[in-house]
Amino acid sequence: MNYRSILGRGFWLLALLMVLAMAVAVAGCGGATDEPADEPTEPADDPADDDDDDDVDEPADDGPKELTIGYYREFTILDPHMSSAGLDSLALRAVFDRLVEVNSTEDGEIHPALATDWEVSEDGTVTTFNLRDDVTFHDGTPFNAEAVKFNFDRIMDPETASQSAVFGMGPYVETRVVDEFTVEVEHEYPYGPFIRTIAAGSYGMVSPTAVEELGDDFPQNPVGSGPFKFVEWVGGSHVTLEKNEDYTPVVSFNRDEAYYDEVTFRFIEENSTRAAALQTGETNAASNMAANDFVRMRDTGDFGTHVYTTLGGPPGGIQINVSKAPTDDVLVRRAIIHAVDSELVRDVVYEGIPEPSGGVLSRHDFFYNPEAGEMYDYGNMDKAHELMEEAGWIMEDDGKRYKDGEMLEIKYLTLPGVRNVAEVVEPMLTELGADVEIWALDNPMQQNTAQEGEHNLVWTQWSSNDPSAIRGRWHSENIGSGWNFYHYSNPEVDELFIEGERTTDVDERKEIYDRIQYILMDDATIVPLNNVAIMWAFDPEIKGWEPADSTGWFGFVLNLHE
């Protein structure tokens, strides 16, 4: 290779390349994504004192009060009707308000918010809401019955392709505007869950004018009536909100106005990094911490800590496929439930912080049935062995159980994120005498495999306000193409699910769901593990972490103060 003829060119090319590379790299940095810390100041506010929270010493400076939260994931979408992820909920509740609100910490009761009161017709099909008359959206549009109709219709609109809000609307017929501040919502048949589900973050009321004007760009420029206004969303980096000075407080158990003038959510996905950012002062709070980081921060004593825990739905458990051997035998299933020492799982994986699950529903849930949740003596290995023997599976010398010449094989399906739970459970099953195979697949593949029923066990978790959500899991209509990974088909339970949705009488519903829980636990369909515990750490001056919103997983940004 002879390049004598081009002496010199190579060198300059190289030098140029190097200089170019460095220059672009360095120059590009400073400008594009600014640190949120140095935002233009707003005139200093008087600290709000028309609420009854404790006031700690206010910081002496008159600058704007800013809060930076190290958040565990980037928001998916800030349009409440299109969002499906609980993680968006924290921001959605800051920018939007809903017709009703649920206080998950105290009573789990439904409180008025944008609606002052409501009543259900005799036949249960029409719910009439009386609305507040003193609320405006961030863009000045007044909040009224027309707006509510617009919102509900938008949720139902196929164009919106709503990922969660639409499912809670039930057998929706239409919304009628009665007068400026009264609406009627009609359902085909009485739909009990309705009033609870609309407290969820995905039912935030959006400004009709803004949606019409912005169309597809609305999700990037959300306009609601909540305590914070949207400022910007820098993809991959952060979301910034600013205080809504004209906010009309609508929820009695929350603050009347925000303490902070500006709130920034910085997305830091890596757990240890998020914790480190709090330690170094880059952020004031760290959300969804890993248990070991949380404990470490807690033990230093330099930080405040708070644990949120779920209310509705089985927060975390292992579903058992009742249609595939060997778990098609109820005795085997009961043995498995006894064999799994959920307390050990909680201790090893989550440092003992979460609470035990109630089986089908969380122990904090309004509809929880203790008889069902405490049916088994979890972690009792002896009982487990006993049940297996009774079922005809005999332990051989190789440590495995056999019946009719077949070895006890269990296939355990899990998600990559909770691999460690599987790793702790697996030896317990091995001790029971099973040959365990673990598959860690992502969500869609998990669903696919589980739908085909190739598994015996599958890890699961979800959240919801209303127990009707468990229908999606246990109703036989969802076998093979939905989320009924149990492949459970029990006509009595199916009937009960339908009944539970059709009545709006709370006592009736309680009875129904009590019975459902009892049957499902008696049939040993799920191995209860633990309530999901969401752990936060923060600068010690920051308060206001309770109450929790209707997911039970987050508080309200509105309530945070120093």
Q: Which of residues 427-466 bind another protein (CB under 8 A)?
A: 427, 437-449, 461-464
Q: CB of residue 115 vs another protein: minimum separation in angstroms?
A: 24
Which of 47, 59, 63, 235 binds another protein (CB under 8 A)? It is 235
Q: CB of residue 267 vs another protein: minimum separation in angstroms?
A: 8
The answer to whether residues 164 and 83 touch, using CB atoms and an 8 Å cutoff, is yes
Does 381 participate in binding another protein (rule CB under 8 A)?
no
By C-beta, is 77 or 307 nearer to another protein? Answer: 77
Does 3 participate in binding another protein (rule CB under 8 A)?
yes
Q: CB of residue 494 vs another protein: minimum separation in angstroms?
A: 12
Q: Which H or E run contains 154? A: helix 145-156
Does 269 participate in binding another protein (rule CB under 8 A)?
yes
By C-beta, is 146 or 435 nearer to another protein? Answer: 435
Strand arrangement of the beta sheet that strand 435-440 belongs to:
435-440, 409-414, 457-460, 317-320, 526-528
DSSP, res 245? T
CB atoms within 10 A of CB 17: 10
Q: CB of residue 156 vs another protein: minimum separation in angstroms?
A: 11
Instruction: Label the pairing between strands 457-460 and 409-414.
Output: parallel
DSSP, res 144? -
The answer to whether residues 200 and 80 touch, using CB atoms and an 8 Å cutoff, is no
By C-beta, is 34 or 406 nearer to another protein? Answer: 34
Taking the mean position of all CA atoms in its chain, how far away is CA 414?
A: 19
Does 29 participate in binding another protein (rule CB under 8 A)?
yes
What tokens were used for 295?
């404990």
Q: CB of residue 349 vs another protein: minimum separation in angstroms?
A: 8
Does 532 participate in binding another protein (rule CB under 8 A)?
no
Handedness of CA 161, 165, 167, 173 (dihedral sign): negative
Cα–Cα distance between 344 and 40 in angstroms, integer?
A: 51
Does 493 participate in binding another protein (rule CB under 8 A)?
no
Inter-CA distances, 471 with 116, 478, 514, Å: 30, 9, 14
Does 219 participate in binding another protein (rule CB under 8 A)?
yes
The label of the residue with tokens 């595939």 reads 324
Does 221 participate in binding another protein (rule CB under 8 A)?
no
User: Is residue 51 packed enough to be buried (19+ CB in 10 Å), middle (13-18) or exposed (0-12)?
Assistant: middle
Q: CB of residue 477 vs another protein: minimum separation in angstroms?
A: 6
The answer to whether residues 260 and 554 touch, using CB atoms and an 8 Å cutoff, is no
Choices 25-33, 41-49, 385-393, 399-407; region in contact with another protein by CB under 8 A: 25-33
Q: CB of residue 90 vs another protein: minimum separation in angstroms?
A: 15
Restricting to residues 326-345, which ones interact with another protein according to CB under 8 A? Answer: 344
Up-side HSE of residue 471: CA atoms within 13 Å toward CB? 22
Q: How many residues bind another protein (CB under 8 A)?
A: 104
The answer to whether residues 40 and 240 touch, using CB atoms and an 8 Å cutoff, is no
Find, among 285, 314, 364, the residue nearest to 473 by Cα. 314
Find, among 324, 360, 326, the residue nearest to 522 by Cα. 360
Instruction: Label the pairing between strands 238-243 and 262-267.
Output: antiparallel
Q: CB of residue 313 vs another protein: minimum separation in angstroms?
A: 7
Choices 20-28, 204-212, 328-336, 516-524; region in contact with another protein by CB under 8 A: 20-28
Restricting to residues 393-422, which ones interact with another protein according to CB under 8 A? Answer: 414, 416-417, 419-420, 422
Choices 105-113, 214-222, 374-382, 383-391; region in contact with another protein by CB under 8 A: 214-222
Does 206 participate in binding another protein (rule CB under 8 A)?
no
Cα–Cα distance between 559 and 4 in angstroms, integer?
A: 73
Which of 68, 69, 71, 82 binds another protein (CB under 8 A)? It is 82
Does 477 participate in binding another protein (rule CB under 8 A)?
yes
Restricting to residues 139-178, which ones interact with another protein according to CB under 8 A? Answer: 158-159, 161, 163-164, 166-167
Does 253 participate in binding another protein (rule CB under 8 A)?
no
What tokens were used for 254?
């929350």
Does 483 participate in binding another protein (rule CB under 8 A)?
yes
Does 41 participate in binding another protein (rule CB under 8 A)?
no
Restricting to residues 85-104, which ones interact with another protein according to CB under 8 A? Answer: 85-86
Restricting to residues 290-309, which ones interact with another protein according to CB under 8 A? Answer: 290, 292-293, 296
Q: CB of residue 174 vs another protein: minimum separation in angstroms?
A: 19
Up-side HSE of residue 141: CA atoms within 13 Å toward CB? 21
